[in-house]
Amino acid sequence: MFKKVLIANRGEIAVRIIRACRELGILTVAVYSEIDKEALHTQLADEAVCIGPASAKDSYLNITNILSACVLTGADAIHPGFGFLSENAKFAKMCKECNIKFIGPDYASIELMGNKAKAREVMKDANIPVVPGFEGIIESEEHASYIAEEIGYPVMIKASAGGGGKGIRIAFNEGELRRGYNTAKAEAKACFGDDRLYIEKYIQNPRHIEFQILADTYGNVIHLNERECSLQRKNQKVLEEAPSTFLTSDLRIEMGEIAKKAAKAVNYKNAGTIEFLVDKDCNYYFMEMNTRIQVEHPITEMITGIDIVKEQLKIASGLELELKQEDIKIKGHAIECRINAEDPDRDFMPCPGKITELYVPGGRGVRLDSAIYCGYKIPHCYDSMLAKLISFGKDREEAITIMKRALGEFGVGGVKTNVDFQFSLLEMDEVVRGAYDTSFLEKVMVKRNA
Ligand code: ADP
Ligand code: ADP
Ligand code: MG
């Protein structure tokens, strides 16, 4: 096992990884930007190295400085968390060249799955059902219009390098397509420095259901069942639950096997997620693979009892998976609410600022993964997610009751948050019944703004 791990991230996920390392007896090195000097991850780690100014491109995305910090502190491995460099194949490759273990898959798998148009092609060749569409890259507005006609409207224009719901547009006709092509291209360029786009069929009112995979370096691949992530705003997850109310046990087994097959098709190693869209007739389609730890991994941990971050560390250090598929059982139900510093009354505008008062929920069935404390100043330059509140109950009804109780206890002073908004979601009939798809929350928003 590793002796010392550097965490190339910040916020709650950096804290989450430090905790797993500590439980395994591994020393930790935090890296931080100048504005994160007082951040929780900086304080919790055994050592901390400043890697540059606040702007992410100069610090958390600064490969040279991160690798230097690793060499300087003598860490054997780097955990990239999610976002930032976690899906950067060049970074994974440079780690390897510096003899530092990258806690994740080989750079070749990252590169392959990071190009979503290419990923579709590979999966199609491996007989994995993919969303109908065009495998190549769109070359021009004219080309886009031709391809959309071929596929048949409505279509979705997507950034090949996309992530975090960015660079996605829906088009129901040619006018929308031409506009969407140009705005998606500009957004992709700004967010990912890569403006390549592809087009696929827009699946109407689908569910987003994803499978957690664990794969070791000996060819063993298992799945830890699914997460239901259909409650989304602007193609970004807001609340997730596991298991999904939509899957029958037969469909769960079938999709789990397909997810494993998808991981094997790219010789995948470490933890990863296969995201599917599922239509109301239970047709499922591969959408993308995330080659990293996922934001919503805790709900899977709650229902399976498995620590996914520890599994990542064990796999990366060359240990064989001790878990077999038949060991994986679903027990109870878990829900995660993403708690963001944002103002739901002003179109969820991010609200950085100082936390002047804080009461955090606890008690039976409650888990809080966060990086905030009273007096903490939320910087303006990063993601607005402050915490993840997770509830666990013997069944779905109890998980909802516990989550509502916990949200009711959550008190954050000084900045606006979406805590009350999350509570209101759990009062909605469709959510209570588990009868929602990815279009549900957008419809709620339209009504709210009317
Ligand atoms: P998950 O798939 O785990 O639910 P999200 O899509 O919400 O994750 O993304 C998690 C975090 O990573 C967010 O902060 C998001 O902005 C960021 N992110 C995801 N993909 C990318 C990417 N390709 N480039 C930059 N940031 C990304
Ligand atoms: P990201 O990398 O940003 O997570 P995804 O490809 O996972 O991008 O898509 C994000 C979300 O957009 C999905 O969870 C889903 O709600 C929606 N979406 C993506 N592709 C389609 C599609 N073809 N039809 C309908 N909805 C889609
Ligand atoms: Mg996705």
146 and 81 in one domain? no
- The continuous run of DSSP H or E covering 223 comes out as strand 221-233
Residues 146 and 96 in one domain: no
Domain boundary (103, 125, 152) is at 103
The reply to whether 165 and 58 lie within a common domain is: no
Asked if residue 436 has pLDDT above 90, the reply is yes
* Same domain, residue pair 196 and 284: no
Count how many residues are written for the chain. 450
- Dihedral (CA of 309, 313, 314, 315) sign: positive
CATH code of the domain in which 154 resides: 3.30.1490.20
User: Ligand 2 pocket by C-beta < 6 Å: which residues?
Assistant: 131, 156, 158, 162-165, 168, 200-203, 206, 208, 232, 235, 275, 277, 287-288, 438
Q: Answer yes or no: do 28 and 152 share one domain.
A: no
The whole-number average pLDDT for the span 73-94 is 97
Q: Return phi, psi of residue 57, to 5°.
A: -65, -25
Counts of helices then strands in the chain (DSSP H, E): 15, 22
Do residue 424 and residue 344 come from a single domain? yes
195, 226: one domain: no
pLDDT reported for residue 448: 85
Q: Please indicate, yes or no, if residue 109 is contained in any of the structural domains.
A: no
Do 159 and 245 lie in a common domain? no
In a domain? residue 194: yes
Of 186, 201, 216, which marks where a domain is finished? 201
Residues annotated as catalytic are 292
How is the chain split among helix, strand and coil, in percent rounded to 5?
35, 25, 35
CA of 208 to the centre of ligand 3 (A): 9
pLDDT reading at 200 higher than 90? yes
Q: Is residue 415 part of a domain?
A: yes
115 falls within a domain: no
Residues 216 and 193 in one domain: no
Domain-embedded: residue 111: no
Q: Output the domain CATH number for residue 294.
A: 3.30.470.20
Residue 206, both tokens: 């689908």
pLDDT, tens only, 364-374: 999 999 999 99
Quote the mean pLDDT of the chain: 97
CA of 268 to the centre of ligand 2 (A): 22
Q: Are residues 188 and 334 in the same domain?
A: no
Domain final residue, candidates 59, 82, 103: 103
Q: Is residue 93 part of a domain?
A: yes
Mutate which of 277, 278, 285 for ligand 2? The one with the most ligand atoms within 8 Å of its CB, which is 277
Answer whether residue 135 shows pLDDT above 90. no
Ligand 2: nearest atom to the Cα of 164: 3
The Å distance, Cα 391 to ligand 2 centre, comes to: 26
131 in Cβ contact with 287 (< 8 Å): yes
The residue whose CB lies within 8 Å of the most ligand 1 atoms, and thus the one to mutate among 9, 82, 287, is: 82
The pLDDT > 70 percentage for the chain reads 100
pLDDT of residue 449: 84
pLDDT at position 184 over 90:
yes
Nearest in space to 418 (alpha carbons), one of 194, 143, 231, 264: 231
What is the 383 CA–ligand 1 centroid distance (Å)? Answer: 9
Is residue 91 very low, low, confident or very high in pLDDT (cuts 50, 70, 90)? Answer: very high
In a domain, 300, yes or no: yes
CB of 216 closer than 6 angstroms to any ligand 1 atom: no
% of the chain with per-residue pLDDT over 90: 97
What is the Cα–Cα distance from 388 to 407, expressed in whole angstroms?
A: 11
E-assigned strand segments in 296-370: 333-340, 342-343, 349-350, 353-354, 357-359, 366-370
Residue 124 is assigned to a structural domain of this protein = no
86 lies in the same domain as 232: no
Domain that holds residue 378: 207-449
Q: Please tell me the total count of domains within the chain.
A: 3
pLDDT in tens, 260-276: 999 999 999 999 999 99
- Please report the pLDDT score of residue 319 as a whole number: 98
